[in-house]
Amino acid sequence: MSDPSHTSSETSEPILGRDPHVLLRVIAKFLIPLIALFGLYVQFHGDYGPGGGFQAGVILAASVILYALVFGLKAAKAAFPPRLIRYGMVLGVLLYGGTGVLSWILGGEFLNYSVLAHDASHGQHYGILAVELGVLVTVTTVMIAIFYAFGSRQPETSDEDW
Amino acid sequence: MPSMFSALEYVPDWLLTHGPAFLMALPLIMAAITSILPNKRVAWASTFIVTAILTLTAFALALYNAEVGTTIYKMGGWAPPHGISLVVDALNAPVLVLIALMSFITIIYALPATVAEIKPNKRAPFYAAFLLCVAGLLGMVITGDAFNVFVFLEVSSISTYVLVAMGAARDRRALSAAYNYLILGSIGATFFVIGIGFLYMETGTLNMADMARILADLDGGSRVAKVAFGFIIIGLGLKLAMFPLHTWLPGAYAYAPTPVTVFLASTATKAALYLLLRFTFFVFDPSYAYVADELLYILVGMGVIGMVFASLQAIFQTDARRMLAFSSVAQVGYMLLGIGIATTASVAAGYLHLINHAVIKGGLFLALGAMWYRFGITRTEDFKGLGKTMPLTMGAFTVLGLSLIGVPFTAGFVSKINLAGAAADAGWWWAVGVIMLTSILALVYIGRVLLLAYFQSPPVVNGEVVVRNEAPLMMLIPMWILALTSIFIGVESDAVVGAATRAAELLLGAG
């Protein structure tokens, strides 16, 4: 599936009627925002029910990966540049760790969310929100980075390299 | 040590209270930041500062521990057994100091070494992976939660695979070595986590102290606990390179970048050994029949076979780093023997050897790295005339090599004499014989390269005799710190022996 679509995306915009994957593209365009939305739902639902940053991150990354599969790796890399992806991985960890540092500064143990607000239960709420956001950012970007790494792999190791 | 206790006055209270979390959070957060720092020296400088702070923190925590005893830190304010606790006690405080100090020493050495071995665009990721590895090792040693151990074990292992593979810039065989390590290391981690799963099934808790209490109530537990124990021992055995499970180690040590080899040889297997001690004596107890059997047949059996076979293999290696790697497998055998005899004195001796061997082997690999840096030396036959061309490096190598053999007034002697004494006290005279035999084997493989270095003239290259070309200062300093430490431990062994004895007493009770 990815191979013909890959080549067609690299050539200039195909004439609508002759594109063999027009159905695929239309459906994908329709689905991608829904997948992303569902990812965000899982993210913010994580406080109250099943879900959370990890699952949401994977779903969000899946929407990007679907985009890359249908429209080609080049288009995906233009939309989500690998450089930003790298910063995203760091940002997520810093969001998580920064919450811990903040709770240190406010006088609690590492990652003790209770000190983050006047009311302990509110503090727990904010804390878990920030931490899960960190998880979301890191998981999404790492998933995309793994896909990029496999997708843009050199085809074969040449004999000279050995 | 009144003078050392007063040093604690200069440490802020905050650090003593929050130090355990700080010790693992700092390298973890800084690893993320380091990975996006501009390359070259900035990444090195930040890593250097982080490891320096870690070393001071670990020392402060160890001193604090000697003063007030076991401290428990509640992560996130959640009390154990439900929350994750970080525990500093007499058993893990010395290991924490060891890991932090070795990371600091490695980083001093890494400045010139990475310039030669790591591509410029890979240096910041290299330091980031290094910090992650440090965070993982410190975390798995300090945590009081069994599942947390697995998480940190994987943090350190996965970053280690990356670090080993980075040796590919120098030698492509690093890739297959890293892959080999990846597969075996993952199998080890899988076995370990299966064991933790069974243990959770048996006890219903993940807190190690709680597990120990429940297992004691159950009088060792049912077959599930036995299976769990088996899985955990095999998993840890892979990680610590117990004799038949050591096959990943020589390749990983030989082809990784030299700073990585130094750090791995002195910390990674040691952290796994610490976990073996923690699980065998603390979570489980030697009074359960299956634990006693494991100590006697697996640890002693494999330890002794490993001591003899790996030493013999070391003698026949042509690659100097593989030689030292096989020697490491043999030295792990000493530690396993000490643990397996299971008296307070023998466990203390095994623990002592864990610390001493880290110092010795770290220093030896540093010296080998410096030799590679100057002359591209990897094979033992290239040692010809090194006593003249690199006298200071070879001097450190000699001191540490003698320490490895167990010459009096060196660290190796202290731990071997303690181990032999403990074995004799327990009536294991044959074990004393094996210790002597393998010491002679160590004399053969170390003596072989020393003879070449001092009694052969430097080789002639392109019609000219190779002239003196000493290693850079940034390599000599850490190398000699370790060489002098090994002599210091040999002459003034009270502090280290005391720490080892306290660790053993914590595990087995005094007497």
Q: Please state at what angle helix A22-45 crosses helix A53-71, rounded to 10 degrees.
A: 170
Res A2 pLDDT > 50: no
Cα–Cα distance, B209 to A105 (Å, whole number): 30
A23 CB-contact burial (10 Å; exposed 0-12 / middle 13-18 / buried 19+): exposed
Of A98, A101, A109, the CB nearest to B76: A109
Omega within 30 of 0 (cis) for the link into B12: no
- Give strand pairing partners of B145: B207
Chain B partners of A93 at a C-beta cutoff of 8 Å? 28-29, 32
Res B493 pLDDT > 50: yes
Cα–Cα distance, B240 to B236 (Å, whole number): 6
The verdict on a CB contact (< 8 Å) between B18 and A104 is yes
Of B28, B74, B77, the CB nearest to A97: B28
The verdict on a CB contact (< 8 Å) between A109 and B74 is yes
Report strand pairing: B464-465 vs B460-461.
antiparallel
Q: Helix (H, G, I), strand (E, B), or coil: what is residue A10?
A: helix
* Total number of domains in chain B: 1
The verdict on a CB contact (< 8 Å) between A89 and B74 is no
**What ipTM did this prediction achieve?**
0.82
B452 CB-contact burial (10 Å; exposed 0-12 / middle 13-18 / buried 19+): middle
Write out pLDDT tens, residues B274-295. 999 999 999 998 888 888 888 8
Res A72 pLDDT > 90: no
**pLDDT value of position A9:** 46
Opening angle at CA B102, ends B273 and B331, nearest 5: 40
Residues with Cβ within 8 Å of A78's Cβ and at least 6 positions away in sequence, in order, are none
Write out pLDDT tens, residues B463-476. 777 777 888 888 89
Cα–Cα distance, B244 to B247 (Å, whole number): 7
Cα–Cα distance, B275 to B141 (Å, whole number): 7
Of B32, B76, B77, the CB nearest to A93: B32
Per-residue confidence at B146, pLDDT binned at 50, 70, 90? very high
Containing A131, the helix (H) or strand (E) segment is helix A120-151
- B219 phi and psi angles, rounded to 5 deg: 60, 45
CA dihedral A50, A55, A59, A64 (to 10 degrees): 150
Portion 167-196 of B in contact with A at CB < 8 A:
172
DSSP alpha helix (H) spans, B167-319 = 173-203, 208-217, 223-240, 248-255, 258-263, 269-277, 289-293, 301-315
Residues of chain B above pLDDT 70, percent: 98
Q: Which amino acid is at B403?
A: S
Residue B4 CA to its chain's centroid (Å): 25
Write out pLDDT tens, residues B150-165. 999 999 999 999 999 9
Q: Which amino acid is at B439?
A: S
Cα–Cα distance, B504 to B492 (Å, whole number): 20
Write out pLDDT tens, residues A116-144. 888 888 888 888 889 999 999 999 999 99
**pLDDT value of position B460:** 79
**pLDDT value of position B1:** 44
Cα–Cα distance, B244 to B233 (Å, whole number): 13
The verdict on a CB contact (< 8 Å) between A111 and B75 is yes
Residue of A nearest to B32 (CA): A90
Res B511 pLDDT > 50: no
Chain A partners of B21 at a C-beta cutoff of 8 Å? 100, 109-110
Res B345 pLDDT > 80: yes
User: CB pairs below 8 Å between A and B: how many?
Assistant: 47
Per-residue confidence at B169, pLDDT binned at 50, 70, 90? confident
Per-residue confidence at A13, pLDDT binned at 50, 70, 90? low
Cα–Cα distance, B281 to B285 (Å, whole number): 5
3-state secondary structure B443-472: HHHHHHHHHHHHHCCCCEECCEECCCCCCC
- Give strand pairing partners of A125: none
The verdict on a CB contact (< 8 Å) between B76 and A110 is yes
Of B35, B36, B77, the CB nearest to A108: B77
**How distant, in Å, are the alpha carbons of B229, B301, B342 from that of B292?**
12, 13, 9
DSSP E strands: which ranges in B46-203?
71-74, 85-88
What pTM did the predictor assign? 0.90
Residue of B nearest to A162 (CA): B172
Residues with Cβ within 8 Å of B196's Cβ and at least 6 positions away in sequence, in order, are B146, B147, B149, B150, B206, B228, B232
Residue of A nearest to B34 (CA): A90
- B265 within 8 A of B365, measured Cβ to Cβ: yes
Write out pLDDT tens, residues B301-343. 999 999 999 999 999 999 988 999 999 999 999 999 999 988 8
Mean pLDDT throughout B105-115? 89
Cα–Cα distance, A143 to B65 (Å, whole number): 42
**pLDDT value of position A23:** 87
The verdict on a CB contact (< 8 Å) between B76 and A94 is no
Res B452 pLDDT > 70: yes
Write out pLDDT tens, residues B205-216. 999 999 999 998
Chain B partners of A100 at a C-beta cutoff of 8 Å? 21, 25
Per-residue confidence at A17, pLDDT binned at 50, 70, 90? low
Q: Please state at what angle helix B344-375 crosses helix B473-491, rounded to 10 degrees.
A: 160
- B206 within 8 A of B147, measured Cβ to Cβ: yes
R_g of chain A computed on alpha carbons: 20
Q: Which amino acid is at B184?
A: L
- B88 within 8 A of B71, measured Cβ to Cβ: yes
Residues with Cβ within 8 Å of A83's Cβ and at least 6 positions away in sequence, in order, are none
CB atoms within 10 A of CB B180: 18
How much is the mean pLDDT over chain B?
89
Residue ranges per structural domain of chain A: 2-153
**pLDDT value of position B67:** 85
Contact status of A93 with chain B (Cβ, < 8 Å): yes
- Domain annotation covers residue B453: yes
- B256 within 8 A of B266, measured Cβ to Cβ: no
**pLDDT value of position A60:** 94
- Domain annotation covers residue B387: yes
Res B37 pLDDT > 90: no
Res A39 pLDDT > 80: yes
- Give strand pairing partners of B143: B86
Q: Which amino acid is at B466?
A: V
Per-residue confidence at B129, pLDDT binned at 50, 70, 90? very high
